Amino acid sequence: GAVVSQHPSWVICKSGTSVKIECRSLDFQATTMFWYRQFPKQSLMLMATSNEGSKATYEQGVEKDKFLINHASLTLSTLTVTSAHPEDSSFYICSAQSWTSGTYNEQFFGPGTRLTVL
Amino acid sequence: AQKITQTQPGMFVQEKEAVTLDCTYDTSDPSYGLFWYKQPSSGEMIFLIYQGSYDQQNATEGRYSLNFQKARKSANLVISASQLGDSAMYFCAMREGYGNKLVFGAGTILRVKS
Protein backbone atom coordinates (compact mmCIF):
# COMPACT_ATOMS: atom_id res chain seq x y z
CA GLY A 1 0.00 0.00 0.00
CA ALA A 2 0.87 3.66 -0.26
CA VAL A 3 2.84 5.42 2.46
CA VAL A 4 1.69 8.39 4.49
CA SER A 5 4.02 10.05 6.97
CA GLN A 6 3.34 12.43 9.84
CA HIS A 7 5.70 14.77 11.55
CA PRO A 8 6.32 15.04 14.40
CA SER A 9 5.38 11.68 15.86
CA TRP A 10 5.01 13.27 19.27
CA VAL A 11 5.15 16.80 20.63
CA ILE A 12 4.94 18.38 24.05
CA CYS A 13 4.16 22.07 24.26
CA LYS A 14 3.19 24.71 26.76
CA SER A 15 -0.36 25.96 27.06
CA GLY A 16 -0.99 28.92 24.77
CA THR A 17 1.49 27.97 22.07
CA SER A 18 0.67 26.78 18.57
CA VAL A 19 1.69 23.43 17.16
CA LYS A 20 1.91 22.42 13.51
CA ILE A 21 1.55 18.81 12.40
CA GLU A 22 2.48 17.75 8.86
CA CYS A 23 0.95 14.94 6.86
CA ARG A 24 2.66 13.81 3.66
CA SER A 25 1.76 11.24 1.03
CA LEU A 26 5.13 9.87 -0.01
CA ASP A 27 4.43 7.91 -3.18
CA PHE A 28 1.10 9.11 -4.51
CA GLN A 29 -0.82 12.31 -5.05
CA ALA A 30 -3.49 12.81 -2.45
CA THR A 31 -6.42 14.81 -3.75
CA THR A 32 -8.04 14.56 -0.34
CA MET A 33 -6.61 14.38 3.15
CA PHE A 34 -8.48 13.78 6.37
CA TRP A 35 -7.64 14.72 9.94
CA TYR A 36 -8.85 12.63 12.84
CA ARG A 37 -8.61 12.97 16.58
CA GLN A 38 -8.50 10.04 18.95
CA PHE A 39 -8.69 10.02 22.72
CA PRO A 40 -7.29 7.05 24.67
CA LYS A 41 -9.24 3.84 24.12
CA GLN A 42 -11.78 5.66 21.97
CA SER A 43 -12.62 5.72 18.30
CA LEU A 44 -11.35 8.02 15.60
CA MET A 45 -13.38 11.16 15.20
CA LEU A 46 -13.16 12.97 11.88
CA MET A 47 -12.23 16.60 12.39
CA ALA A 48 -12.02 17.86 8.83
CA THR A 49 -11.63 16.97 5.19
CA SER A 50 -9.24 18.93 3.05
CA ASN A 51 -9.00 18.96 -0.72
CA GLU A 52 -5.90 20.27 -2.43
CA GLY A 53 -6.16 23.96 -3.23
CA SER A 54 -9.45 24.57 -1.44
CA LYS A 55 -10.65 25.32 2.06
CA ALA A 56 -11.09 22.47 4.48
CA THR A 57 -14.54 21.20 5.40
CA TYR A 58 -14.87 20.89 9.16
CA GLU A 59 -17.13 18.48 11.00
CA GLN A 60 -19.78 19.84 13.28
CA GLY A 61 -18.38 20.97 16.61
CA VAL A 62 -14.80 21.41 15.40
CA GLU A 63 -13.51 24.96 15.77
CA LYS A 64 -12.11 26.22 12.48
CA ASP A 65 -10.08 28.96 14.11
CA LYS A 66 -8.63 26.53 16.61
CA PHE A 67 -7.61 23.83 14.17
CA LEU A 68 -6.22 25.41 11.02
CA ILE A 69 -5.84 23.08 8.07
CA ASN A 70 -3.87 23.82 4.93
CA HIS A 71 -3.62 21.51 1.93
CA ALA A 72 -1.26 23.46 -0.26
CA SER A 73 -0.05 20.64 -2.47
CA LEU A 74 -1.06 17.15 -3.57
CA THR A 75 1.39 15.61 -1.12
CA LEU A 76 1.20 17.83 1.96
CA SER A 77 -1.45 18.88 4.43
CA THR A 78 -0.82 20.63 7.72
CA LEU A 79 -2.88 20.88 10.89
CA THR A 80 -2.07 23.77 13.21
CA VAL A 81 -3.47 23.68 16.72
CA THR A 82 -3.57 27.32 17.71
CA SER A 83 -3.28 28.50 21.32
CA ALA A 84 -3.20 24.92 22.52
CA HIS A 85 -4.64 24.01 25.90
CA PRO A 86 -4.43 20.79 27.94
CA GLU A 87 -7.81 19.65 26.62
CA ASP A 88 -6.32 19.62 23.12
CA SER A 89 -3.97 16.84 24.19
CA SER A 90 -4.81 13.89 21.99
CA PHE A 91 -3.62 11.56 19.24
CA TYR A 92 -4.02 13.18 15.83
CA ILE A 93 -4.09 10.94 12.76
CA CYS A 94 -4.19 11.95 9.13
CA SER A 95 -5.17 9.89 6.13
CA ALA A 96 -4.73 10.50 2.44
CA GLN A 97 -6.78 9.44 -0.54
CA SER A 98 -6.44 9.73 -4.27
CA TRP A 99 -9.14 10.02 -6.92
CA THR A 100 -8.76 8.04 -10.10
CA SER A 101 -11.10 6.91 -12.82
CA GLY A 102 -14.08 8.61 -11.26
CA THR A 103 -13.87 6.89 -7.94
CA TYR A 104 -12.35 7.41 -4.54
CA ASN A 105 -9.59 5.06 -3.66
CA GLU A 106 -8.64 3.59 -0.33
CA GLN A 107 -7.61 5.89 2.50
CA PHE A 108 -4.05 5.38 3.72
CA PHE A 109 -3.33 6.41 7.28
CA GLY A 110 -0.34 8.13 8.77
CA PRO A 111 1.29 6.82 11.95
CA GLY A 112 -0.26 9.55 14.09
CA THR A 113 1.03 12.41 16.24
CA ARG A 114 0.68 12.41 19.99
CA LEU A 115 0.18 15.94 21.30
CA THR A 116 0.59 16.72 24.98
CA VAL A 117 -0.15 20.24 26.15
CA LEU A 118 1.19 21.13 29.60
CA ALA B 1 -28.28 7.19 15.43
CA GLN B 2 -25.06 5.22 15.37
CA LYS B 3 -24.05 4.31 11.86
CA ILE B 4 -21.52 1.70 12.95
CA THR B 5 -22.02 -0.37 16.07
CA GLN B 6 -19.43 -2.61 17.65
CA THR B 7 -21.02 -4.18 20.71
CA GLN B 8 -17.96 -5.93 22.11
CA PRO B 9 -15.71 -3.52 24.04
CA GLY B 10 -13.21 -6.30 24.69
CA MET B 11 -12.62 -9.90 23.68
CA PHE B 12 -10.25 -12.65 24.74
CA VAL B 13 -9.23 -15.52 22.50
CA GLN B 14 -6.87 -18.40 22.98
CA GLU B 15 -3.89 -18.51 20.67
CA LYS B 16 -4.52 -20.56 17.50
CA GLU B 17 -8.30 -20.34 17.89
CA ALA B 18 -10.65 -18.36 15.66
CA VAL B 19 -12.46 -15.25 16.85
CA THR B 20 -15.35 -13.20 15.47
CA LEU B 21 -15.58 -9.46 16.01
CA ASP B 22 -19.06 -8.07 15.52
CA CYS B 23 -20.04 -5.04 13.48
CA THR B 24 -23.48 -3.83 12.46
CA TYR B 25 -24.16 -0.79 10.33
CA ASP B 26 -27.00 1.49 9.41
CA THR B 27 -27.41 3.14 6.04
CA SER B 28 -30.14 3.78 3.51
CA ASP B 29 -27.68 4.19 0.66
CA PRO B 30 -27.53 1.10 -1.59
CA SER B 31 -23.89 1.79 -2.39
CA TYR B 32 -21.46 1.61 0.50
CA GLY B 33 -18.20 0.06 1.58
CA LEU B 34 -17.22 -1.59 4.82
CA PHE B 35 -13.69 -1.66 6.18
CA TRP B 36 -11.86 -3.25 9.07
CA TYR B 37 -8.74 -1.72 10.55
CA LYS B 38 -6.34 -2.93 13.22
CA GLN B 39 -4.72 -0.47 15.58
CA PRO B 40 -1.89 -1.87 17.73
CA SER B 41 -0.60 0.00 20.76
CA SER B 42 1.77 1.97 18.51
CA GLY B 43 -1.28 3.78 17.13
CA GLU B 44 -0.92 3.14 13.41
CA MET B 45 -4.07 2.18 11.54
CA ILE B 46 -3.57 -1.00 9.55
CA PHE B 47 -6.07 -1.80 6.80
CA LEU B 48 -7.25 -5.42 7.01
CA ILE B 49 -10.14 -6.05 4.67
CA TYR B 50 -12.81 -4.37 2.52
CA GLN B 51 -16.34 -5.39 1.47
CA GLY B 52 -18.37 -3.49 -1.08
CA SER B 53 -22.15 -3.51 -0.83
CA TYR B 54 -22.48 -5.01 -4.30
CA ASP B 55 -19.86 -7.69 -3.79
CA GLN B 56 -21.42 -11.10 -4.18
CA GLN B 57 -18.84 -12.98 -2.18
CA ASN B 58 -17.49 -12.42 1.30
CA ALA B 59 -14.08 -10.78 1.31
CA THR B 60 -11.06 -12.75 2.48
CA GLU B 61 -7.46 -11.67 3.08
CA GLY B 62 -5.21 -14.35 4.46
CA ARG B 63 -6.37 -15.15 8.01
CA TYR B 64 -9.03 -12.44 7.85
CA SER B 65 -12.48 -12.96 6.41
CA LEU B 66 -15.54 -10.80 6.50
CA ASN B 67 -18.90 -12.43 7.20
CA PHE B 68 -21.15 -10.08 5.25
CA GLN B 69 -24.88 -10.47 5.90
CA LYS B 70 -26.47 -7.68 3.94
CA ALA B 71 -30.07 -8.24 5.03
CA ARG B 72 -29.01 -8.13 8.67
CA LYS B 73 -26.64 -5.22 8.01
CA SER B 74 -23.77 -6.96 9.67
CA ALA B 75 -20.13 -7.24 8.64
CA ASN B 76 -18.35 -9.35 11.20
CA LEU B 77 -14.60 -9.89 11.04
CA VAL B 78 -13.36 -13.43 11.51
CA ILE B 79 -9.73 -13.97 12.42
CA SER B 80 -8.61 -17.57 12.08
CA ALA B 81 -5.69 -19.16 13.93
CA SER B 82 -5.19 -16.21 16.28
CA GLN B 83 -1.64 -15.12 17.01
CA LEU B 84 -0.24 -13.12 19.92
CA GLY B 85 0.49 -10.31 17.48
CA ASP B 86 -3.23 -10.01 16.77
CA SER B 87 -3.72 -8.34 20.15
CA ALA B 88 -4.87 -4.82 19.26
CA MET B 89 -7.88 -2.56 18.89
CA TYR B 90 -10.04 -3.37 15.89
CA PHE B 91 -12.28 -0.84 14.17
CA CYS B 92 -15.11 -1.37 11.73
CA ALA B 93 -15.77 1.57 9.39
CA MET B 94 -18.21 2.48 6.62
CA ARG B 95 -18.05 4.74 3.59
CA GLU B 96 -21.44 5.66 2.14
CA GLY B 97 -22.38 6.25 -1.47
CA TYR B 98 -19.94 8.24 -3.51
CA GLY B 99 -18.72 10.15 -0.52
CA ASN B 100 -15.25 9.68 0.79
CA LYS B 101 -15.69 10.03 4.54
CA LEU B 102 -15.20 7.04 6.80
CA VAL B 103 -17.34 6.60 9.88
CA PHE B 104 -15.79 4.42 12.55
CA GLY B 105 -17.30 2.20 15.20
CA ALA B 106 -16.24 2.39 18.84
CA GLY B 107 -13.76 -0.44 18.43
CA THR B 108 -13.12 -3.80 20.06
CA ILE B 109 -9.98 -4.56 22.05
CA LEU B 110 -8.79 -8.07 21.30
CA ARG B 111 -6.40 -9.88 23.60
CA VAL B 112 -4.86 -13.16 22.48
CA LYS B 113 -3.84 -15.47 25.32
CA SER B 114 -0.97 -17.94 25.10
For the cut 90, the answer to whether the pLDDT of residue A97 exceeds it is no
Contact A104 B100 (CB under 8 A): yes
Question: Which carries the bigger pLDDT value, residue A106 or residue B13?
Answer: B13
Single-letter amino acid code for the residue at B38: K
Question: Which carries the bigger pLDDT value, residue A85 or residue B1?
Answer: A85
What per-residue confidence (pLDDT) applies to B97?
75
Instruction: Give the residue-averaged pLDDT of A43-50.
Output: 94
How far does the CA of residue A57 sit from the closest CA of chain B (Å)? Answer: 11
What per-residue confidence (pLDDT) applies to A101?
54
Instruction: Give the residue-averaged pLDDT of B86-108.
Output: 91
**What is the band of A22 on the pLDDT scale with cuts at 50, 70, 90?**
very high
What per-residue confidence (pLDDT) applies to A100?
64
Instruction: Give the residue-averaged pLDDT of B56-63.
Output: 95
pLDDT digits (tens, 9 = 90+) for B71-81: 999 999 999 99
What per-residue confidence (pLDDT) applies to B73?
96
Contact A106 B44 (CB under 8 A): no
How far does the CA of residue A1 sit from the closest CA of chain B (Å)? Answer: 9
Within chain A, strands assigned E span 4-7, 10-13, 19-25, 32-38, 44-51, 57-58, 67-73, 76-81, 90-97, 99-100, 103-104, 108-109, 113-117
Contact A104 B50 (CB under 8 A): no
Contact B47 A106 (CB under 8 A): yes
Average pLDDT, chain A: 91
Q: Is the Cβ of B107 closer than 8 Å to some Cβ of chain A? A: yes
